[in-house]
Protein backbone atom coordinates (compact mmCIF):
# COMPACT_ATOMS: atom_id res chain seq x y z
CA UNK A 1 0.00 0.00 0.00
CA UNK A 2 2.80 2.42 0.90
CA UNK A 3 4.45 1.61 -2.43
CA UNK A 4 1.26 2.51 -4.32
CA UNK A 5 0.86 5.76 -2.42
CA UNK A 6 4.51 6.66 -3.00
CA UNK A 7 4.13 5.93 -6.71
CA UNK A 8 1.04 8.15 -6.92
CA UNK A 9 2.86 10.93 -5.10
CA UNK A 10 5.74 10.64 -7.58
CA UNK A 11 3.32 10.81 -10.51
CA UNK A 12 1.59 13.86 -9.06
CA UNK A 13 4.95 15.49 -8.39
CA UNK A 14 6.12 14.74 -11.95
CA UNK A 15 2.86 16.08 -13.36
CA UNK A 16 3.14 19.27 -11.31
CA UNK A 17 6.73 19.72 -12.41
CA UNK A 18 5.82 19.35 -16.07
CA UNK A 19 2.89 21.76 -15.79
CA UNK A 20 4.99 24.39 -14.00
CA UNK A 21 7.86 24.04 -16.47
CA UNK A 22 5.50 24.29 -19.46
CA UNK A 23 3.89 27.36 -17.90
CA UNK A 24 7.29 29.04 -17.51
CA UNK A 25 8.29 28.25 -21.11
CA UNK A 26 4.91 29.33 -22.48
CA UNK A 27 5.06 32.60 -20.53
CA UNK A 28 8.57 33.31 -21.83
CA UNK A 29 7.54 32.61 -25.43
CA UNK A 30 4.32 34.61 -25.24
CA UNK A 31 6.14 37.60 -23.74
CA UNK A 32 8.51 37.47 -26.71
CA UNK A 33 11.64 36.95 -24.61
CA UNK A 34 14.95 36.93 -26.45
CA UNK A 35 16.71 33.73 -27.50
CA UNK A 36 19.25 33.85 -24.67
CA UNK A 37 16.54 34.05 -21.98
CA UNK A 38 14.59 31.15 -23.48
CA UNK A 39 17.65 28.89 -23.82
CA UNK A 40 18.72 29.73 -20.24
CA UNK A 41 15.27 28.66 -19.06
CA UNK A 42 15.58 25.38 -20.95
CA UNK A 43 19.06 24.87 -19.45
CA UNK A 44 17.65 25.48 -15.96
CA UNK A 45 14.94 22.85 -16.47
CA UNK A 46 17.32 20.21 -17.82
CA UNK A 47 20.31 20.91 -15.62
CA UNK A 48 18.95 22.23 -12.33
CA UNK A 49 15.49 20.71 -12.08
CA UNK A 50 16.10 17.35 -13.76
CA UNK A 51 19.77 17.08 -12.81
CA UNK A 52 21.29 16.10 -16.16
CA UNK A 53 24.93 17.15 -16.13
CA UNK A 54 25.68 16.78 -19.84
CA UNK A 55 23.49 17.66 -22.80
CA UNK A 56 23.63 19.35 -26.20
CA UNK A 57 20.80 20.94 -28.20
CA UNK A 58 21.39 21.26 -31.94
CA UNK A 59 18.91 23.24 -33.98
CA UNK A 60 18.53 24.02 -37.65
CA UNK A 61 17.93 27.46 -39.04
CA UNK A 62 19.53 27.91 -42.44
CA UNK A 63 22.25 25.51 -41.26
CA UNK A 64 22.70 23.28 -38.23
CA UNK A 65 24.24 24.90 -35.17
CA UNK A 66 24.67 24.24 -31.46
CA UNK A 67 22.01 26.18 -29.60
CA UNK A 68 22.99 24.97 -26.13
CA UNK A 69 25.85 22.92 -24.67
CA UNK A 70 26.35 21.94 -21.02
CA UNK A 71 29.02 19.61 -19.62
CA UNK A 72 30.42 18.49 -22.96
CA UNK A 73 34.11 19.30 -23.52
CA UNK A 74 34.55 17.77 -26.99
CA UNK A 75 34.83 19.71 -30.23
CA UNK A 76 31.63 20.39 -32.15
CA UNK A 77 33.16 22.26 -35.06
CA UNK A 78 33.03 20.17 -38.20
CA UNK A 79 30.38 17.77 -36.92
CA UNK A 80 27.91 16.81 -39.65
CA UNK A 81 24.64 16.80 -37.72
CA UNK A 82 22.68 15.23 -40.58
CA UNK A 83 25.18 12.39 -40.91
CA UNK A 84 25.47 11.78 -37.17
CA UNK A 85 21.84 12.15 -36.13
CA UNK A 86 19.70 12.15 -39.27
CA UNK A 87 18.73 8.48 -38.89
CA UNK A 88 17.00 9.05 -35.52
CA UNK A 89 13.25 9.58 -35.91
CA UNK A 90 12.17 8.71 -32.36
CA UNK A 91 13.60 9.02 -28.83
CA UNK A 92 16.38 6.45 -28.82
CA UNK A 93 18.60 4.95 -26.11
CA UNK A 94 22.28 4.79 -27.10
CA UNK A 95 23.60 1.49 -25.84
CA UNK A 96 26.87 1.66 -27.79
CA UNK A 97 28.21 3.70 -30.67
CA UNK A 98 31.40 4.12 -32.66
CA UNK A 99 30.60 7.81 -33.01
CA UNK A 100 32.85 9.96 -30.83
CA UNK A 101 29.87 12.26 -30.27
CA UNK A 102 27.14 9.68 -29.56
CA UNK A 103 29.35 7.59 -27.28
CA UNK A 104 29.30 10.51 -24.80
CA UNK A 105 25.51 10.43 -24.36
CA UNK A 106 22.70 8.06 -23.35
CA UNK A 107 19.69 9.34 -25.33
CA UNK A 108 18.95 11.06 -28.65
CA UNK A 109 15.77 13.14 -28.61
CA UNK A 110 14.79 14.26 -32.13
CA UNK A 111 12.46 17.20 -32.66
CA UNK A 112 10.41 17.26 -35.87
CA UNK A 113 8.10 19.93 -37.20
CA UNK A 114 5.97 19.48 -40.34
CA UNK A 115 7.95 16.38 -41.23
CA UNK A 116 11.37 18.01 -41.03
CA UNK A 117 14.00 17.73 -38.29
CA UNK A 118 14.40 21.06 -36.51
CA UNK A 119 16.48 19.94 -33.51
CA UNK A 120 18.29 17.09 -31.78
CA UNK A 121 18.79 16.92 -28.01
CA UNK A 122 21.55 14.62 -26.69
CA UNK A 123 21.38 13.78 -22.95
CA UNK A 124 23.79 11.99 -20.60
CA UNK A 125 22.74 10.60 -17.20
CA UNK A 126 19.64 8.59 -18.03
CA UNK A 127 19.39 5.50 -15.80
CA UNK A 128 19.21 2.15 -17.58
CA UNK A 129 17.82 -0.13 -14.87
CA UNK A 130 14.15 -1.08 -14.99
CA UNK A 131 13.29 0.85 -11.85
CA UNK A 132 14.06 4.31 -13.27
CA UNK A 133 13.97 3.87 -17.05
CA UNK A 134 10.23 4.42 -17.40
CA UNK A 135 10.36 7.70 -15.50
CA UNK A 136 13.53 8.81 -17.32
CA UNK A 137 11.90 8.19 -20.70
CA UNK A 138 8.91 10.18 -19.51
CA UNK A 139 11.29 13.06 -18.82
CA UNK A 140 12.78 12.64 -22.33
CA UNK A 141 9.32 12.82 -23.88
CA UNK A 142 8.64 15.95 -21.87
CA UNK A 143 11.96 17.51 -22.95
CA UNK A 144 11.08 16.68 -26.55
CA UNK A 145 7.87 18.68 -26.12
CA UNK A 146 9.67 21.63 -24.54
CA UNK A 147 12.47 21.60 -27.14
CA UNK A 148 9.82 21.48 -29.85
CA UNK A 149 8.14 24.59 -28.43
CA UNK A 150 11.44 26.45 -28.28
CA UNK A 151 12.82 25.58 -31.72
CA UNK A 152 9.46 26.15 -33.42
CA UNK A 153 9.30 29.55 -31.74
CA UNK A 154 12.85 30.27 -32.98
CA UNK A 155 11.89 29.13 -36.48
CA UNK A 156 8.79 31.33 -36.39
CA UNK A 157 10.91 34.31 -35.35
CA UNK A 158 13.33 33.58 -38.18
CA UNK A 159 10.54 33.25 -40.73
CA UNK A 160 8.97 36.47 -39.46
CA UNK A 161 12.28 38.24 -40.09
CA UNK A 162 12.51 36.61 -43.53
CA UNK A 163 8.94 37.66 -44.37
CA UNK A 164 9.55 41.20 -43.14
CA UNK A 165 12.74 41.29 -45.21
CA UNK A 166 10.89 39.95 -48.25
CA UNK A 167 8.11 42.49 -47.80
CA UNK A 168 10.66 45.29 -47.49
CA UNK A 169 12.47 43.97 -50.56
CA UNK A 170 9.16 43.84 -52.45
CA UNK A 171 8.44 47.47 -51.55
CA UNK A 172 11.94 48.47 -52.64
CA UNK A 173 11.38 46.68 -55.95
CA UNK A 174 8.11 48.54 -56.42
CA UNK A 175 9.89 51.85 -55.82
CA UNK A 176 12.75 50.84 -58.15
CA UNK A 177 10.23 49.80 -60.81
CA UNK A 178 8.39 53.11 -60.54
CA UNK A 179 11.67 55.03 -60.75
CA UNK A 180 12.75 52.98 -63.75
CA UNK A 181 9.49 53.71 -65.58
CA UNK A 182 10.04 57.42 -65.02
CA UNK A 183 13.34 57.18 -66.93
CA UNK A 184 11.68 55.81 -70.08
CA UNK A 185 10.31 58.41 -72.53
CA UNK A 186 6.61 58.98 -71.95
CA UNK A 187 5.58 60.53 -75.27
CA UNK A 188 7.15 59.22 -78.46
CA UNK A 189 6.42 61.35 -81.55
CA UNK A 190 4.05 60.31 -84.31
CA UNK A 191 3.75 63.16 -86.78
CA UNK A 192 4.56 64.20 -90.38
CA UNK A 193 8.31 63.72 -89.77
CA UNK A 194 8.45 60.44 -87.91
CA UNK A 195 6.48 57.68 -86.25
CA UNK A 196 8.19 56.17 -83.20
CA UNK A 197 6.91 53.52 -80.84
CA UNK A 198 8.38 51.21 -78.20
CA UNK A 199 7.14 48.19 -76.32
CA UNK A 200 8.88 46.59 -73.36
CA UNK A 201 8.10 43.60 -71.15
CA UNK A 202 10.51 43.05 -68.24
CA UNK A 203 10.89 39.48 -67.04
CA UNK A 204 10.76 40.63 -63.42
CA UNK A 205 9.50 43.72 -61.63
CA UNK A 206 12.58 45.64 -62.61
CA UNK A 207 14.35 44.95 -65.87
CA UNK A 208 17.72 45.27 -67.53
CA UNK A 209 16.63 46.60 -70.94
CA UNK A 210 16.47 50.28 -71.84
CA UNK A 211 15.47 52.46 -74.78
CA UNK A 212 15.27 56.22 -75.18
CA UNK A 213 14.35 59.06 -77.53
CA UNK A 214 15.99 62.42 -76.83
CA UNK A 215 15.31 65.53 -78.97
CA UNK A 216 18.31 67.83 -79.49
CA UNK A 217 16.56 70.95 -80.68
CA UNK A 218 13.94 70.85 -83.45
CA UNK A 219 15.77 68.88 -86.15
CA UNK A 220 18.12 66.49 -84.35
CA UNK A 221 17.26 63.44 -82.32
CA UNK A 222 18.93 60.69 -80.33
CA UNK A 223 17.59 57.15 -80.36
CA UNK A 224 19.18 54.38 -78.32
CA UNK A 225 18.66 50.95 -76.84
CA UNK A 226 20.67 48.93 -74.32
CA UNK A 227 20.79 45.59 -72.51
CA UNK A 228 22.77 44.73 -69.38
CA UNK A 229 24.47 41.35 -68.96
CA UNK A 230 23.06 39.14 -66.24
CA UNK A 231 19.72 39.34 -64.50
CA UNK A 232 18.29 40.37 -61.16
CA UNK A 233 18.16 43.53 -59.12
CA UNK A 234 21.86 44.39 -59.45
CA UNK A 235 21.58 44.31 -63.26
CA UNK A 236 18.43 46.43 -63.17
CA UNK A 237 20.02 48.97 -60.84
CA UNK A 238 23.07 49.22 -63.10
CA UNK A 239 20.79 49.92 -66.05
CA UNK A 240 18.79 52.51 -64.10
CA UNK A 241 22.05 54.27 -63.27
CA UNK A 242 23.06 54.06 -66.94
CA UNK A 243 19.74 55.59 -68.05
CA UNK A 244 20.14 58.52 -65.69
CA UNK A 245 23.78 59.03 -66.76
CA UNK A 246 22.86 59.27 -70.45
CA UNK A 247 20.23 61.90 -69.79
CA UNK A 248 22.65 63.85 -67.61
CA UNK A 249 25.44 63.74 -70.20
CA UNK A 250 23.19 65.00 -72.96
CA UNK A 251 21.97 67.79 -70.72
CA UNK A 252 25.38 69.11 -69.68
CA UNK A 253 27.81 67.95 -72.37
CA UNK A 254 28.16 69.08 -75.97
CA UNK A 255 27.27 66.17 -78.21
CA UNK A 256 30.24 64.21 -79.56
CA UNK A 257 29.49 60.55 -80.23
CA UNK A 258 32.95 59.09 -79.59
CA UNK A 259 33.51 61.18 -76.46
CA UNK A 260 30.08 60.20 -75.17
CA UNK A 261 30.73 56.47 -75.70
CA UNK A 262 34.12 56.72 -73.94
CA UNK A 263 32.56 58.52 -70.97
CA UNK A 264 29.74 55.96 -70.73
CA UNK A 265 32.31 53.15 -70.77
CA UNK A 266 34.14 54.76 -67.83
CA UNK A 267 30.86 55.16 -65.93
CA UNK A 268 29.87 51.52 -66.47
CA UNK A 269 33.33 50.28 -65.44
CA UNK A 270 33.15 52.35 -62.27
CA UNK A 271 29.63 51.16 -61.38
CA UNK A 272 29.93 47.49 -62.37
CA UNK A 273 33.63 47.01 -61.48
CA UNK A 274 34.05 44.62 -64.39
CA UNK A 275 31.36 42.21 -63.13
CA UNK A 276 28.75 43.23 -65.71
CA UNK A 277 28.72 44.99 -69.05
CA UNK A 278 26.14 46.79 -71.19
CA UNK A 279 25.48 46.37 -74.89
CA UNK A 280 24.37 49.67 -76.33
CA UNK A 281 23.21 51.16 -79.62
CA UNK A 282 23.27 54.95 -79.98
CA UNK A 283 22.13 56.85 -83.07
CA UNK A 284 21.97 60.54 -83.94
CA UNK A 285 19.50 61.56 -86.64
CA UNK A 286 19.54 64.93 -88.42
CA UNK A 287 16.11 65.44 -89.96
CA UNK A 288 17.37 68.25 -92.23
CA UNK A 289 20.13 66.26 -93.92
CA UNK A 290 18.38 62.88 -93.30
CA UNK A 291 21.72 61.55 -92.06
CA UNK A 292 21.92 58.91 -89.36
CA UNK A 293 25.20 58.54 -87.44
CA UNK A 294 25.50 55.65 -85.02
CA UNK A 295 27.72 53.51 -82.79
CA UNK A 296 26.82 49.92 -82.00
CA UNK A 297 28.57 48.89 -78.77
CA UNK A 298 28.20 45.12 -78.98
CA UNK A 299 24.40 45.20 -79.25
CA UNK A 300 22.12 43.05 -81.41
CA UNK A 301 22.32 44.64 -84.84
CA UNK A 302 19.38 46.98 -85.42
CA UNK A 303 18.31 47.04 -89.07
CA UNK A 304 17.03 49.66 -91.47
CA UNK A 305 14.65 48.78 -94.27
CA UNK A 306 12.42 50.35 -96.89
CA UNK A 307 10.17 47.30 -96.80
CA UNK A 308 12.33 45.31 -99.20
CA UNK A 309 16.06 45.86 -98.71
CA UNK A 310 17.56 45.29 -95.23
CA UNK A 311 20.82 46.71 -93.85
CA UNK A 312 22.31 45.86 -90.46
CA UNK A 313 23.74 48.65 -88.31
CA UNK A 314 26.88 46.97 -86.95
CA UNK A 315 29.64 49.60 -86.96
CA UNK A 316 30.84 50.51 -83.48
CA UNK A 317 32.85 48.98 -80.66
CA UNK A 318 32.79 46.30 -77.97
CA UNK A 319 30.26 46.37 -75.13
CA UNK A 320 30.55 49.04 -72.46
CA UNK A 321 32.25 47.95 -69.25
CA UNK A 322 34.22 45.09 -70.82
CA UNK A 323 37.55 46.94 -70.78
CA UNK A 324 38.86 50.06 -69.04
CA UNK A 325 39.66 51.62 -72.40
CA UNK A 326 37.77 50.89 -75.62
CA UNK A 327 40.33 49.68 -78.22
CA UNK A 328 38.37 51.23 -81.11
CA UNK A 329 35.18 53.17 -81.81
CA UNK A 330 33.84 53.20 -85.37
CA UNK A 331 31.02 55.58 -86.22
CA UNK A 332 28.63 54.33 -88.90
CA UNK A 333 26.80 56.73 -91.23
CA UNK A 334 23.63 56.14 -93.27
CA UNK A 335 21.61 58.54 -95.43
CA UNK A 336 17.96 57.61 -95.03
CA UNK A 337 15.55 57.69 -97.96
CA UNK A 338 11.93 58.71 -97.22
CA UNK A 339 9.74 56.13 -95.46
CA UNK A 340 12.72 54.25 -94.00
CA UNK A 341 12.13 52.15 -90.88
CA UNK A 342 14.71 51.38 -88.18
CA UNK A 343 14.02 48.51 -85.80
CA UNK A 344 15.98 48.26 -82.54
CA UNK A 345 15.51 45.28 -80.24
CA UNK A 346 17.10 43.37 -77.37
CA UNK A 347 18.13 39.71 -77.35
CA UNK A 348 14.96 38.76 -75.44
CA UNK A 349 13.18 39.07 -78.81
CA UNK A 350 15.38 37.01 -81.12
CA UNK A 351 16.53 34.51 -78.47
CA UNK A 352 13.02 33.68 -77.29
CA UNK A 353 12.59 29.89 -77.48
CA UNK A 354 9.52 27.81 -78.28
CA UNK A 355 8.75 24.39 -76.85
CA UNK A 356 10.99 22.80 -79.50
CA UNK A 357 13.88 24.96 -78.16
CA UNK A 358 14.08 26.96 -81.41
CA UNK A 359 14.98 30.66 -81.33
CA UNK A 360 12.53 33.19 -82.74
CA UNK A 361 15.49 34.63 -84.65
CA UNK A 362 16.22 37.81 -86.58
CA UNK A 363 14.91 36.44 -89.88
CA UNK A 364 11.39 36.02 -88.49
CA UNK A 365 11.52 39.53 -87.04
CA UNK A 366 12.57 41.03 -90.38
CA UNK A 367 9.92 39.02 -92.22
CA UNK A 368 7.23 40.31 -89.86
CA UNK A 369 8.32 43.91 -90.43
CA UNK A 370 8.23 43.43 -94.22
CA UNK A 371 4.88 41.62 -94.25
CA UNK A 372 3.19 44.36 -92.23
CA UNK A 373 5.24 47.33 -93.39
CA UNK A 374 2.29 49.75 -93.95
CA UNK A 375 1.24 49.52 -90.31
CA UNK A 376 1.87 52.30 -87.84
CA UNK A 377 4.80 51.56 -85.55
CA UNK A 378 2.60 51.10 -82.49
CA UNK A 379 0.46 48.52 -84.31
CA UNK A 380 3.61 46.87 -85.66
CA UNK A 381 5.10 46.46 -82.19
CA UNK A 382 1.87 45.06 -80.78
CA UNK A 383 1.72 42.55 -83.61
CA UNK A 384 5.35 41.50 -83.04
CA UNK A 385 4.68 40.91 -79.35
CA UNK A 386 1.57 38.87 -80.14
CA UNK A 387 3.70 36.70 -82.45
CA UNK A 388 6.28 36.32 -79.67
CA UNK A 389 3.53 35.14 -77.30
CA UNK A 390 2.39 32.59 -79.89
CA UNK A 391 5.98 31.45 -80.36
CA UNK A 392 6.77 30.79 -76.70
CA UNK A 393 3.36 29.20 -76.01
CA UNK A 394 2.98 28.25 -72.33
CA UNK A 395 6.65 28.90 -71.55
CA UNK A 396 7.69 31.86 -69.38
CA UNK A 397 9.81 34.72 -70.59
CA UNK A 398 13.47 34.00 -69.88
CA UNK A 399 14.70 37.53 -70.52
CA UNK A 400 13.54 41.13 -70.73
CA UNK A 401 12.04 41.90 -74.14
CA UNK A 402 12.13 45.28 -75.89
CA UNK A 403 11.29 46.58 -79.40
CA UNK A 404 11.93 50.18 -80.46
CA UNK A 405 10.65 50.98 -83.95
CA UNK A 406 11.24 54.25 -85.81
CA UNK A 407 9.93 55.28 -89.23
CA UNK A 408 11.26 58.47 -90.80
CA UNK A 409 8.97 59.94 -93.51
Alpha-carbon gap, residue 229 to 241, rounded angstroms = 14
Q: What is the mean pLDDT of residues 194-210?
A: 83
Name the CATH superfamily for 176-408: PPM-type phosphatase domain (3.60.40.10)
Give the Cα separation of 345 and 385 in Å (integer): 12
* 251-297 per-position pLDDT tens digit: 766 678 999 999 999 999 988 887 889 999 999 999 999 999 999 99
The sheet with strand 401-408 has its strands ordered as 194-201, 401-408, 340-345, 303-305, 310-312
Q: Please give the pLDDT value at position 241.
A: 80
The 10s digit of each residue's pLDDT in 363-388 is 999 999 999 999 999 999 999 999 99
Count of C-beta atoms within a 10 Å radius of residue 20:
12
Angle at 293 between CA 291 and CA 294, to 5 degrees: 150
**CATH architecture entry for 2-160:** 2-Layer Sandwich (3.30)
**Fold equal for 2-160 and 176-408:** no
Q: Which neighbouring-strand residues pair with 3?
A: none
Q: Outline where DSSP puts E strands in 165-269.
A: 194-201, 209-216, 220-228
Determine how many CB atoms are found less than 10 A away from the CB of residue 48.
9
The pLDDT of residue 15 is: 61
Over the stretch 311-324, which tens digit does the pLDDT of each residue have?
A: 999 999 999 999 99
Say how far apart CA 212 and CA 364 lie, in whole Å. Answer: 24
pLDDT at 28: 66
How many helices (H) and strands (E) are present in the chain, helices listed first? 9, 16
Whole-number pLDDT of residue 27: 72
Short-list 179, 108, 109, CA closest to 148 = 109
Sign of CA dihedral 102, 104, 106, 111: negative
Boundaries of every domain in the chain: 2-160, 176-408
Mean pLDDT, all residues of the chain: 85
For residues 351-362, average pLDDT = 93
* Selection from 363, 218, 357 nearest residue 287 by Cα: 218
Amino acid sequence: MDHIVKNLENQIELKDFKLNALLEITTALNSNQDLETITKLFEFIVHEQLGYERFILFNKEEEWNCLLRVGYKGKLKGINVEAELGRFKDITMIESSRSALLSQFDVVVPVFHKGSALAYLLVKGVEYDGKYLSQAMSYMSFLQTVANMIVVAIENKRMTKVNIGQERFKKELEVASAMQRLLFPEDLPSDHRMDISAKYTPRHEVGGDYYDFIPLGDDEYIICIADVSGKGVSAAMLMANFQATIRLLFEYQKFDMKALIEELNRKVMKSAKGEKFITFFLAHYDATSRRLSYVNAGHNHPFITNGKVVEDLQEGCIGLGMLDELPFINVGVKDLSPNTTIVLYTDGVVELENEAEEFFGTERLVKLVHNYYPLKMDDMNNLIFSKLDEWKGPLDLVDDTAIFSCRFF
